[in-house]
Chains A and B, each alone.
Chain A
């Protein structure tokens, strides 16, 4: 694509680095920005700069935080002996929205995937082991994706942690609540049948 201005070209190139955004969408965004009030766009730019330069990660769990220790880790009402292990910030938000969990988190920062150049050393595993040892953690809930990479990471960690006095659990997998059985994919349904659970009467 040829652009009438170097400024536009630069902006398009930067915006098209977003996941799922191509050159055409980036061009639409640029046109949108040019139509806005100058101050609005400056605010946007400053917000982005501040976001990247001032962001902090919780020294304990790796979650995004405005202080050294995040709100969740700092909350005395939460069970500080439980850790819910997640891949990234989005999963923290998702689980928080369920209001079903009252412990702390630990953000891994990814999943083991050599093909993508991610090994165990690239993840926050050392800090997790350290926490389990020093904080007398009693249970760790592995809430990772039900993908091959998620399985790999869960399996690897369970081996790493097996000599530590901590209970390891994983979130259950199966039929979506409110979902009709016939719409479940065969793999999920097959697994749900194979790994059925005793009826607890809810």
Chain B
């Protein structure tokens, strides 16, 4: 099992100092909008991913007029206690696990597996393809360091190749040997990434479809189609054929950095043809499938953070989700909501689920007896 026992926020967002003891099962954070409920979840997210789910600027997570924040937590991992400490001050971010400094943050990703579901996730459907690639990369990288390494190197090679294409343009000619060099490196990492992505989706998509059927309780067919330049073409051939095009555009026009995940319902793009409800079901199913995938590949059940999920789901979808909680499919869960009565009403019908309630108000957290 994996569960946070204590969480201590210092000068993090709107908290001067807040210390709480969490329950190993369900923890509900209740308060008005702007009280700081989501910040608690984001702090937990920080300890798993060394960054915020919402805002890439660490600095903006420091309490106003202060110059640092820290997040301290004790985790219970299969009955062994582990201390995690994250500290940020302008220009410096330190993560310590059991007092040992983590040198490379990328090594830490996956140490505390976690899935977060928030109303923000809908942008996965509406934003550009980069968001979907990030989602895909995030899932695979949490469990596969070689994949992460390939992605980082691919992006570095891509950056160098694009810069070199601009240099070629300035000189009005191509150094063929140098271009072939960058092609070879791009191909090496690109092909590896492509294989990982294909293989991942073969396993992931059926799980996703299954969750969608449960959550939506409907007969519509959903699908995730992987689109890539590399599916029908040899990468090297593709790069050679597009040399002149790349030269003119001064950037690399083909490759796995153009991959796309196409989300469909009954064969049509869900962002155009799906109803609000269908889109919500789609997102939740994606996230639950991610949870399921992670769970099957780690020795502990990942943490599940549900932000404002009650606002997002109608009663029937919610009941399906809560039934899964009652069945013990998840490990520790952190939920935020604006209404205490609504949460209590639901969880009182599930005596087998242990729930702890916290009231959040203007940067103060108090436990409800």
Chain B residue with minimal CB distance to A113? Answer: B160
Given contacts A148-B156, A148-B157, A187-B145, contact A159 B180 (CB under 8 A): yes
A68 at the interface (CB under 8 A from B): no
Q: Are A155 and B185 in contact (CB under 8 A)?
A: yes
- Tell yes or no: A115 within 8 A of B by CB: yes
In the A-B complex, the 3 residue pairs with the smallest Cβ-Cβ separation, listed nearest first, are A114-B163, A114-B164, A186-B145
Counting chain B CB atoms within 10 Å of each CB, the highest count among A119, A148, A190 belongs to: A148
By beta carbon, the residue of chain B nearest A121 is: B175
User: How far is it, in angstroms, between the C-alpha of A190 and the C-alpha of B145 when the chains are bound?
Assistant: 9
Say yes or no for A120: interface residue by CB 8 A criterion. yes
Does B309 belong to the interface (CB within 8 Å)? no
Known: A114-B167, A120-B175, A187-B149. A156 touches B160 (CB 8 A): no
Q: In this assembly, does A85 line the interface, its C-beta being within 8 Å of a C-beta of chain B?
A: no
Q: Are B146 and A156 in contact (CB under 8 A)?
A: no
Q: Which residue of A lies closest to B150 (CB)?
A: A187
B145 A112 Cβ-Cβ under 8 A: no
Q: Bound complex: CA of A92 vs CA of B180, how far in Å?
A: 29
* Pairwise interchain contact A156-B177, C-beta atoms closer than 8 A: yes
Contacts known (A113-B160, A114-B160, A114-B163); A156 close to B181, Cβ less than 8 A: yes
Query: Smallest Cβ distance from B184 to chain A, in angstroms?
Result: 6
List which A180-202 residues lie within 8 A (CB) of chain B: 185-187, 190
Chain B residues with CB under 8 Å of A115's CB are 159-160, 163
The answer to whether A151 touches B163 (Cβ under 8 A) is no
B146/A112 in contact, CB under 8 A: no
A120 to B104, CA, bound (A): 31
A residues less than 8 Å from B180 (CB atoms): 159
Binding site for B on A (CB under 8 A): 112-115, 119-120, 148-149, 151-152, 155-156, 159-160, 185-187, 190
Give the CA-CA distance A25 to B167 in the complex, in Å.
Answer: 38
A159-B175 Cα distance, complex, nearest whole Å: 12
Q: Please give the distance in Å from A193's CB to the nearest CB on chain B.
A: 11
Interface string of B144-188 (1 = CB under 8 A from A): 011001000100110110011011000000010110111011000
Q: How far is the CA of A159 from the CA of B184 in the complex (A)?
A: 11
A152 touches B182 (CB 8 A): yes
Cβ of B130 within 8 Å of any chain A Cβ, yes or no, is no
- Beyond contacts A152-B185, A156-B177: 9 other A-B pairs, Cβ-Cβ < 8 A, are A112-B178, A114-B166, A115-B160, A119-B167, A148-B157, A148-B160, A152-B157, A152-B181, A155-B181
Q: Does B107 lie at the interface of the complex (its beta carbon under 8 Å from any beta carbon of A)?
A: yes
Q: How far is the CA of A114 from the CA of B145 in the complex (A)?
A: 27
Q: Is the pair A148, B185 in contact by a Cβ cutoff of 8 Å?
A: yes
- Using CB atoms, name the residue of chain B closest to A153: B181
Known: A148-B153, A152-B182, A187-B146. A160 touches B177 (CB 8 A): yes
B145 touching A120 by the CB < 8 A rule? no
Tell me which of B104, B145, B177 has the highest count of chain A C-beta atoms within 10 A of its own C-beta.
B177
Residue in B167, B175, B184 whose beta carbon sits within 8 Å of that of A155 in the complex: B184
Q: How far is the CB of B1 from chain A (nearest CB, A)?
A: 24
Docked complex Cα distance between A119 and B184 (Å) = 17
For the complex, give the distance between the alpha carbons of A160 and B182 in Å. Answer: 14
CB pair B160 A152 closer than 8 Å: yes
A114: B residues at CB distance < 8 A: 160, 163-164, 166-167
Cα-based distance from A151 to B188 in the complex (angstroms): 12
Question: Contact at A190–B159, with CB atoms within 8 Å?
Answer: no
